[in-house]
Amino acid sequence: MNKYFSFQWHITDECDQRCKHCYIFSGDKYHDLKSMTWAQMEDTFYNCLDFCEVYGRLPYFYLTGGDPILHPDFWRLLALFKEHNVPFTVMGNPFHLNDQVCREMKYYGCEKYQLSLDGLRETHDWFRKSGSFDCTIEKIGCINRSGMRSVIMTTVSKTNRMEVPGIIDAVVASGANVFAFSRYVPSGGDLDASMTPREYRELLAICDKKFKEYEAEGAETYFNKKDHLWTLYEYETGAFKIPADAK
């Protein structure tokens, strides 16, 4: 049986946030925002399909940026996915989502839309921009109503680690389908907000307790228990990465 090979595809730097922990803008006050041309995107897409054909895999794309929806050829790319019956997930911001936009993404084959919550309201908005927390919570409903699955990802650091239990409560209350978190990775010149090993172990114990409590209550939210982006959807798609030394 064929399995998926996952590609995380960054198509644009364009974004209507300037998150304090974003690697795109880290240590670069006057960043030159870049986007792929349509010719580059077509070439990349077909190269990925050729790769999967050679290795007997099915392609799966995680479309990201910046905010991928801001790319001028975003919908053209989604049409290309649909033409070749290739499933994908969008990892973006909430600001341009509404019921119609979400239904259209679902029509083109988008299975999941991933949003970020990096703290409770005050902390999240400090990381990103004012109003971002409330907008994110609101747009979970748009995603769910479209038939896509809503995914919430939290980037955990020393700054927000004590708010993670509250984030989990907010995610469950909002009806998000999936919750996951990953550790903050400093990217040079930015604020070092890394956790110590002890702090991280304490956080894992707290999360494990919260997850088990909600699972016992029958919560519909799926809790990813592996701190690794590429394992997030194994339960659903069987997606995985081929090791670098695979023949």
The ranges assigned to domains in the chain are 4-13+37-237
Considering only residues 95 and 34, tell me which one the structure prediction assigns the higher pLDDT. 95
pLDDT at 173 exceeding the cut of 60: yes
pLDDT beyond 60 at 228: no
Alpha-carbon gap, residue 144 to 150, rounded angstroms: 6
For position 232, what pLDDT does the model report?
45
Residue 95, C-beta contacts closer than 8 angstroms, at least 6 positions apart = 16, 67, 135
Distances in Å between the Cα of 221 and the Cα atoms of 169, 197, 215, 243 are: 11, 28, 8, 30
Fold of domain 4-13+37-237:
TIM Barrel (3.20.20)
In the prediction, which pLDDT does 187 show? 58
- The C-alpha atoms of residue 70 and residue 201 are separated, in whole angstroms, by 38
| In the chain, % of residues over pLDDT 90 | 67
Residue 68 near residue 91, CB atoms below 8 Å: yes
Q: Which residue has the tokens 């969008």?
A: 90
CB–CB of 167/120 below 8 Å?
yes
Within the chain, residue ranges assigned H as helices are: 38-55, 74-83, 99-107, 121-127, 132-146, 164-174, 197-217, 234-237
Instruction: For residue 241, name the pLDDT band (cuts at 50, 70, 90).
Output: very low
The per-residue pLDDT for 107 is: 98
C-alpha 7/C-alpha 88 separation (Å) is 9
pTM of the model: 0.86
- Three-state secondary structure call for residue 10: strand
**Mean pLDDT calculated for residue range 28-36:** 72
CB distance 142 to 115 below 8 Å: no
pLDDT at 197 over 60: yes
Between 66 and 89, the higher pLDDT residue: 89
The token pair at 107 is 């029509």
Is the per-residue pLDDT at 6 higher than 50? yes
Query: 45-49, 54-58, 193-197, 218-222: which range is least confident on average?
Result: 193-197
User: So what's the pLDDT on residue 246?
Assistant: 34
Please work out, in degrees rounded to the nearest 5, the angle formed at the alpha carbon of residue 135 by the alpha carbons of 226 and 13: 70
pLDDT of residue 238: 41
Tokens representing 237?
């798609």
Retrieve residue 108's tokens: 């083109």
For residue 4, pLDDT over 70 is answered with: yes
Q: Please check the confidence at residue 82 and state whether its pLDDT lies above 80.
A: yes
Least Cα distance to 159 among 10, 21, 18 occurs for: 21
Check the CA dihedral 67-107-232-59 and report its sign.
negative
Q: Calculate the average pLDDT of the chain.
A: 86
- Predicted pLDDT of residue 117: 96
User: Would you place residue 31 in the very low, low, confident or very high pLDDT band (cuts 50, 70, 90)?
Assistant: low
Q: What is the pLDDT of residue 29?
A: 55
